[in-house]
Chains A and B, each alone.
Chain A
Amino acid sequence: MVVQVCIGSACHLKGSYVVIQKLKSLIEEHNLGDFVELKSSFCLGECANGVSVKIDSQKVKTVLPKDVEKFFETEILGGLER
């Protein structure tokens, strides 16, 4: 699974740094390093709805710093189980 977090201007201002740090530590905590590849990306084309996060080729989702845990559970853990 490849997870891309946008680090473009708008997403940066909305907290992509925090989102990345939180995802990094969650992935480590759950020992998912071999299954999930976390990447940064320039503009994902959804600037008005940052922070933009994209899993594989799915639709771009909005993940604000406060929503990271929930996103990790439903989309990343959930996605891996599926």
Chain B
Amino acid sequence: MKANNYYIDIATHSLNKYKEELCGDKVEIFKTSDRTIIVLADGLGSGIKANILATLTTKIAGTMLKKGESIKETIDTIMKTLPVCKIRKIAYSTFGIIEIDKYNNCTIIEYDNPPIFYIRNGKIINLNKNVVMYDNKKVKFSKTVLLESDALILVSDGVIHAGVGHVLNYGWEWEHVAEYLEKQYVKTAEELNRRLIDTCNTLYEGSPGDDTTSVTIKVRTPEIIEVFTGPPENPKDDEYLVRKLMEGKGKKIVCGGTAAKIVARELDKEVKTSFDYIDLDVPPIATIDGIDLVTEGVLTLKKTIDKLEEYKVYKIKEKEISAKKDGASLLANMFLNECTHVNFLVGKAINPAHQNPDFPIEMSIKLNIVDQLISVLESIGKIVTINYI
């Protein structure tokens, strides 16, 4: 069987129960070279107690399954490890586990959580579920092979109960969530998942009655972006580097004044600069025929990193980023919404101006900035390759 060339796009968002500082739902994503494991657990109760139950559940499940333990062993370990609730005298957390191998074979394991939503071509697909009993506990197993654009959405019960007793008598209900999901035509897992959670928040009128979490998995065709920054150490490599950049199949980005000049020279094109200061901290962008985005270097990259970090912490900011048109926002938006893979071509030449004591310390070495950018991109799930020249 051929290993799949698809990209598994994953996004997760949570709402905390009204007035709670911690969420009692927890999502963990484990990626290894041949498998992706996603675990969502909903701990009994709310607040710190639920958070501990859910965290233990996701960590134990993920770690054991990743190491190849059986599901029976894993569930057994979870049940024996969870602390017993003083009030309810039980140790309890529901969970859903999704495991996807490199051939797109997908196994879904569900224990007391709302049934997973599986969408293909805008329609809900019903999976055949095998029920297996472990110590009186009903665990459901199902298997499928994922195709391109398939979406899996795993939720905590806060989603299907959204609005209960306020806007809706019975809450949103599984069937209605399913109908809603069928109608969303979006490219990224992030967008689909956010729409779902935003709708829950609206139904709860901004004060969720329960911890509310969803995780969306979407199978996507890879979208590649090539980024060239910094002149090569040896000017003899200029031609090779620009050729490599242009051979790339995806979108092309050039960051840095000198890099832009090299590209323009090798392609026999012109760098068209502008005076458009949209954000005073970000130098204006430029254009070169055949290149999708041309920006200044270190300052723009630093700002881009800040924006991506901000997005990671406060996910809501993404819309703000995509609305702005300065170099750093355009760049951050391309990274967030227009790629699954990023290939960096990084020249190692040192710019004497960056060694100036007046220059902000973290910018003195461009390679530091590139390293930071790579780590934030990886942390939001992008697959990054780097070529130093």
List A residues at the B interface (Cβ < 8 Å).
6-10, 12-14, 16-17, 20, 24, 38-43, 47-48, 50
Q: List 30 A-B contacts (CB under 8 A).
A: A6-B257, A7-B273, A7-B283, A7-B284, A7-B296, A9-B297, A9-B299, A9-B354, A10-B351, A10-B353, A10-B354, A10-B356, A12-B299, A13-B299, A13-B359, A13-B360, A16-B283, A24-B275, A38-B275, A39-B273, A40-B275, A41-B273, A42-B258, A42-B261, A42-B273, A42-B296, A43-B257, A43-B258, A47-B353, A47-B354
Shortest C-beta distance, B126 to chain A (Å), equals: 56
Docked Cα-Cα span, A43 to B273, in Å, equals: 11
A10 contacts B359, C-beta separation under 8 Å = yes
Q: Quick one: which of B260, B273, B274, B352 contacts A47, CB cutoff 8 A? A: B352
Chain A residue with minimal CB distance to B271? Answer: A42
B296 touches A12 (CB 8 A): yes
Closest residue of A by beta carbon distance from B355:
A48
The CA of A30 and the CA of B354, in the complex, are separated in Å by: 37
B280 interface residue (CB < 8 Å to A): yes
Contact B299 A20 (CB under 8 A): no
Q: Does B217 contact A (CB under 8 A)?
A: no
Write the nearest CB–CB distance from B193 to chain A, whole angstroms. 37
Q: Cβ of B308 < 8 Å from any Cβ of A?
A: no
Chain B contributes a number of interface residues (CB within 8 A of A) equal to 27
B358 to chain A, nearest CB (A): 7
Interface string of B253-288 (1 = CB under 8 A from A): 000111011000000000101110100100110100
- A43 nearest in chain B by CB position: B257
Q: Report the separation of the CA atoms of residues A59 and B299 in the bound assembly, to the nearest whole angstrom.
A: 26
Determine chain B's interface SS by DSSP, over half rule.
Answer: loop
10 nearest A-B residue pairs (beta carbon) = A47-B353, A43-B257, A42-B257, A10-B353, A8-B257, A40-B273, A12-B283, A7-B283, A48-B353, A9-B298
Nearest CB in chain A to that of B264: its residue: A42
Interchain CB contact under 8 A, A43 and B283: no
Q: Which residues of B contact A20 (CB under 8 A)?
A: 275
| Additional A-B contact list (16), CB under 8 Å, known A12-B283, A20-B275, A50-B353 | A7-B284, A8-B258, A8-B283, A9-B257, A9-B353, A10-B353, A10-B354, A13-B299, A24-B275, A38-B275, A39-B273, A40-B274, A42-B273, A43-B257, A47-B351, A47-B352
Q: Please name the residue on chain B nearest to A6 by beta carbon.
A: B257
Give chain B nearest CB distance to A28 CB in angstroms.
Answer: 14
Chain B residues with CB under 8 A of A16: 283
Is B352 a contact partner of A48 (Cβ separation < 8 A)?
yes
CA distance in complex: A63, B258 (Å): 20
B335-372 CB contacts (< 8 Å) to partner A: 351-354, 356, 358-360, 363
Give the distance in Å from the alpha carbon of A52 to the alpha carbon of B178 in the complex.
60
Contacts of B286 in A (CB 8 A): 42
Please measure, in the bound complex, the distance between the C-alpha atom of A48 and the C-alpha atom of B261, giving whole angstroms.
Answer: 18
- Is the beta-carbon distance between A17 and B298 smaller than 8 angstroms? no
- Measured between beta carbons, the chain B residues less than 8 angstroms from A41 are 273
Between A13, A39, A40, A43, the greatest number of chain B beta carbons within 10 A of the residue's beta carbon is seen for A43
Decide: A13 near B358, CB < 8 A? Known: A8-B283, A50-B353. yes
Which residues of chain A are near B261, meaning CB under 8 Å? 42-43
Within 8 A of A (CB), among B157-174: none
Q: Which residues of B contact A39 (CB under 8 A)?
A: 273
Name which residue of chain B comes closest to A38, CB basis.
B275
Of all chain A residues, the one with the shortest Cβ separation from B274 is A40
